[in-house]
Structure formats: structure tokens, C-alpha cells
Amino acid sequence: MDFDAVISEAFVRLLAFHNSFNRNIKFSFGALSFLAEHRADTNGSHVFDLPTGTEPWGQATHWRGLDAPVKDAAIFLAELGIARVAAAFEDYTTGAKGEFDRAGLTQIRAKEEGNSALHGLDAILGLNISGMADVLLLAEFFAVARNCIVHASNRASPHLARLRAEPALATALDRLPKRVAKWSVSLPPVTEGHVVEWRPRHAILASDVYFRAAIQLDRALATAMGPVALAKMAAHWCFFADPPAPCPSKHSPEVMVRAQLQDRYKARGLTLADTVGLLRDARAWDSVRAEWTRLYPDGPETAVARHRRAAKASARPAAGSRGRRR
């Protein structure tokens, strides 16, 4: 069995957010750009009616010229995006710490000794962050930007202005891996006390920065947990979490846990015997079997099993019947 590329449940959720966030930002800004580019009039004097859908704002809202509203909406979209990305990363660190605690691990250093942009999780895991200087500087910048957006109506604080002026930030941007000839990595001008004109690309950049940081944290988490604790994690999210993680395979408890480990958490080469052995080592096998029996008292929840149970039930004589006459 191979656990070299395994990821935690917290990272699964962050990965799903990261991908959907990129799509949503690009779709939303694309819709705004489409509206601006396909308006019927180019001199800005025409009044445009925009539908309100199912919202209680009347049949339509009326706009005279779209250039300014589209620009403001794009900035607003970016503000929301940066705040949402920072919240998703904090949710990841909280979930990762939860897995760490459920595994019964002992923190390497106190949280307060860790990097603030990583919420101190690097210290808890004992992660060496010496090779993460660029990502950490950018993560700190967007963490401060998030605070300005949420607590100061997007007016730049002295801290944000100071970070933006650091030459090291421009160097970090230049070194950040990116798709060649697709887009240039840049940040908006920042003046203390002034509103920052964020663009949607900055929200996507923030998501990318936090995602890169989470990759390093999650690798350290998975290494610290090891196969036994990771199997216990899979069992927890199969049977004991509220709500549980989705699992399409409900043939037996060991099949469910193995399916989660391989399909959701990226373990490889795991047999059913391996799965049961890991759960036994974690002292979780008996509780997993008991919970399986409680959740699925009729047996496997597969299409074949359900069909067989339905056929058996339909062939059973009705109450009071003497059965088939010979």
C-alpha cells in the first residue's frame, strides 16, 4: 500500500473550493464583461433594464450607462473573493488541526511560535517553512488585505501599504509559478487610507497562494498521521461524522473505508485485508462494524443488493396467506 500522495479530508474540501472558486470568479466576471461589451449603445446615455430573477426588487433594475457599474461590481466581486478565500484557508487549518487532534498526536511546538499567515499550524506540525518565503509573504499580504476588506471597508491599512511597497513582494510575484503567456501576475497600487481597486485576478491569485501553502501543510499532516491514523480518519468520515463525507460504495464497512482512502484521499494499492488490519491497529474495527450494522441493518446498499431484497420481499406470502397451493 502507498500513502505517499494521500491527502486529508480538510484538503479534499479546500481542493473542491479552490476549483469551484476559480470557475465562479471567471464566470461572474465573464458575465459582467459580456454585459458591458454587448450593450446596445456605446455613448453611455441609454437606460438599461436588468432582470431581477426571483429577487424582490421589482420586475427590473434600471441603469444609465454600464461602464461605472461594471467596474464597481468587478471590484466588489474581487473583495468578496479575497475574503472568501481567506475564510476557506482558515477553515482548512481548523479542519487539519481537528484531524491532528483526533489522531492523538502531540504538537511539535506551540501554535504561538508558528507563522501567523498559516495560523500557527506549521509549528504544531513541525513543518520547516524555510523554503516557503515567497508563499508566506504573499499569504501575509492577502491576510492583511482580507482584514482591510472586512473591517475597514477595503481602505488600506498602514500594514498593507508597507507590505505592498516591499521589494521582496515584487520578487515573490516574479518567482511565483504561472502559465506561460496566459496572464501576468501583478498587484494593484496600495495607498494608506484609500480604497484598493482589486480585480478578479487578484482573488484568484489569493486562492492560488493559499492553496500552495495548504499543500505543504497537508503533506506534513499526512506524514505525521501515518497510515493507521489516516485509515481511522477515513472511517470517521464514513460513519461517525455529522454530516459524513459522501461515499458511493456501501457494500461493507471495509469496502467503504478502502473506497474513501483510495478514491477520496488518494491512497494507492490498498487491499481489503490491509484496510481491516489498519482499522484493527487503530482499535476502530469493532466500532466501525457496529456502526455499519446500525446504519445499514438490511445489508449492503448497492443496486444489486437492493434489487435482491425487493425481489425477495415481493415473493414473500402476504400476512394471513397459506402460501402457494400445490
Among 223, 246, 261, give the residue marking a domain's end.
223
285 plus 209 within the same structural domain: no
Q: What are phi and psi of 188, to 5 degrees?
A: -75, 160
pLDDT at 160: 98
217 plus 270 within the same structural domain: no
The proportion of the chain whose per-residue pLDDT surpasses 70, expressed as a percent, equals: 87
Q: Is residue 51 part of a domain?
A: no
Q: Is residue 47 part of a domain?
A: no
Among 223, 251, 286, give the residue marking a domain's end.
223
Overall domain count for the chain: 2
232 plus 120 within the same structural domain: no
23 plus 104 within the same structural domain: yes
193 plus 251 within the same structural domain: no
218 plus 301 within the same structural domain: no
Instruction: Grade residue 312 by pLDDT with cuts at 50, 70 and 90.
Output: low
pLDDT at 207: 97
Q: Is residue 154 part of a domain?
A: yes
Q: 267 and 234 in contact (C-beta within 8 Å)?
A: no
Among 223, 245, 277, give the residue marking a domain's end.
223
31 plus 147 within the same structural domain: yes
Nearest residue to 121 via CA among 4, 219, 228: 219
pLDDT at 52: 86
Residue 171 has pLDDT above 90, yes or no: yes
- The pTM of the full predicted model, rounded to 2 decimals, is 0.88
Instruction: Grade residue 308 by pLDDT with cuts at 50, 70 and 90.
Output: low
20 plus 154 within the same structural domain: yes
Nearest residue to 135 via CA among 162, 175, 97: 175
What would the mean pLDDT of 192-214 be, rounded to a whole number?
A: 96
pLDDT at 45: 55
Q: Where are the alpha helices (DSSP H) in the chain?
A: 9-37, 67-102, 121-125, 133-151, 158-165, 167-175, 200-235, 253-259, 272-281, 285-295, 303-315
Q: Is residue 325 part of a domain?
A: no
206 plus 280 within the same structural domain: no
* Residue 278 belongs to domain spanning: 226-315
296 plus 253 within the same structural domain: yes
Q: Is residue 44 part of a domain?
A: no
Instruction: Grade residue 248 by pLDDT with cuts at 50, 70 and 90.
Output: confident
3-class SS of residue 133: helix
164 plus 75 within the same structural domain: yes
165 plus 296 within the same structural domain: no
Q: How many residues does the chain have?
A: 326
The proportion of the chain whose per-residue pLDDT surpasses 90, expressed as a percent, equals: 72
Report the C-alpha gap between 201 and 183 in whole angstroms.
9
pLDDT at 228: 97
